Amino acid sequence: MYIVIMAGGSGTRFWPASRESLPKQFLNIVGDRAMIVETYERIRPLAPDDHIILVIGQQHLAETERLFAGRAVRILAEPAGRNTAPCIGLAAKYVEHLGGKDPIVIVPADHYIARPEVFRSGLVQAAQAAARGAIVTLGIIPTRSETGYGYIERAAEPEENNLYRVRTFVEKPNPEMAADYLARGSYFWNAGIFVATPRTLLAEFTSYMPSFARGLEKLRAAFDTTEFPEALQALYGNTEAISFDYAIMEKTTQPVYVVPSECGWSDVGSWYSLYEVRKEHDRDDLGNIGEGDTLLLDSKDSFVVSRGKRFLAVLGLTNVLVVDTEDALLVADLNKSQEVKRIVERLKESASKDLL
């Protein structure tokens, strides 16, 4: 099979550790390595390096080449972010260009998986179904009533063991609906992980993004030539930013399947979410996680990250988030860490562009 690791995002949720120049997927957020490397290491038992394609932003090309030096992985650099639909279309066209007919596993570069073996076995099953022409998605079995994710509703009966037709994709629910979804057991979190052959994918683009599909066809001759960057820039200049879910999955008339998985997935979408992911291994008896040169006195359930080489002392606080970097410092209520984007918005309005 082929693997596409989507690493073109430019999130602000881990400010001040993440910046426009160094988004989350290039940071060591959970382990000791950048998330894109963790993602690669997790998935590489499934395919040889030259079947693994990293789709990144042009501005991260040097950093990506540094991280994957000596690896035969393939890199596609986007001149600008256009969300996931163009990214997946581009990667599918590239695999077709390479002569590949096997299913492509498409995964985001910045997610955390607690149980990689469970994750991989789900993908293998999904790829088997995808080889027969379907689009297959991994459905994360929910562990809590969560309003922050989209959901996938499965059909009542499986097609085979642990493989279901998808009944519908559902937007982020309100709390009552989320509780209902959790109770029913037939709803899964949509982690944005898809498996399909290049042929299936490109047929969908022809149906629902025909202009872009024609552009991809014209681009094909430029793959792996020096003309590629300019050709892709021309195509992306005429392409709208749109998600694969919205552009394709909500419209397709093809059968779509879901493989439920209990792989311990997290999108690590906020500092709080990261605290939740890390606390099992890293927190002390008082619920604190300290990273770097830190001292916590009379404090609990706090997440304290010193990445600025400074000594960081916390006294008498609960549920606090502290992130220290060379040039910016965040102190927040850990439970409000998803609002960090408001600080980034304020910085965008101000003269402090260098802190973005």
- Where does this chain bind a second copy (CB under 8 A)? 16, 295, 297-298, 304, 306, 308, 310-317, 320, 322, 324, 326-333, 335-337, 339-340, 342-343, 346, 352, 355
How many C-beta atoms surround the C-beta of residue 184 within 10 A? 10
Q: Give 132 or 342: the residue with its C-beta nearer to a second copy.
A: 342
Q: Report which residue type is found at 230.
A: E
Please report how close the Cβ of residue 294 comes to a second copy at its closest, in angstroms.
Answer: 9
Please report how close the Cβ of residue 329 comes to a second copy at its closest, in angstroms.
Answer: 5
Q: Give 286 or 295: the residue with its C-beta nearer to a second copy.
A: 295
User: What SS3 class is residue 6?
Assistant: strand
**Euclidean distance between CA atoms 114 and 128, whole angstroms:** 23
Question: Could you write out the three-class secondary structure of 118-172?
Answer: HHHHHHHHHHHHHCCCCEEEEEECCCCCCCCCCEEEECCCCCECCEEEEEEEECC
Identify any residues that bridge with 320 across adjacent strands, giving them in sequence order: 333
Q: Give 219 or 328: the residue with its C-beta nearer to a second copy.
A: 328
Please report how close the Cβ of residue 352 comes to a second copy at its closest, in angstroms.
Answer: 6
Please report how close the Cβ of residue 242 comes to a second copy at its closest, in angstroms.
Answer: 31
User: What SS3 class is residue 99?
Assistant: coil
Please report how close the Cβ of residue 355 comes to a second copy at its closest, in angstroms.
Answer: 5
Q: How far is CA 108 from the centre of its chain?
A: 3
Please report how close the Cβ of residue 342 comes to a second copy at its closest, in angstroms.
Answer: 6
Q: Give 64 or 325: the residue with its C-beta nearer to a second copy.
A: 325
Q: Give 38 or 324: the residue with its C-beta nearer to a second copy.
A: 324
**Euclidean distance between CA atoms 328 and 308, whole angstroms:** 9
**Euclidean distance between CA atoms 278 and 283, whole angstroms:** 7
> What's the farthest any 2 CA atoms get from each other in the chain?
64
Q: Give 151 or 271: the residue with its C-beta nearer to a second copy.
A: 271
Q: In this structure, what token pair is assigned to residue 354?
A: 């260098």
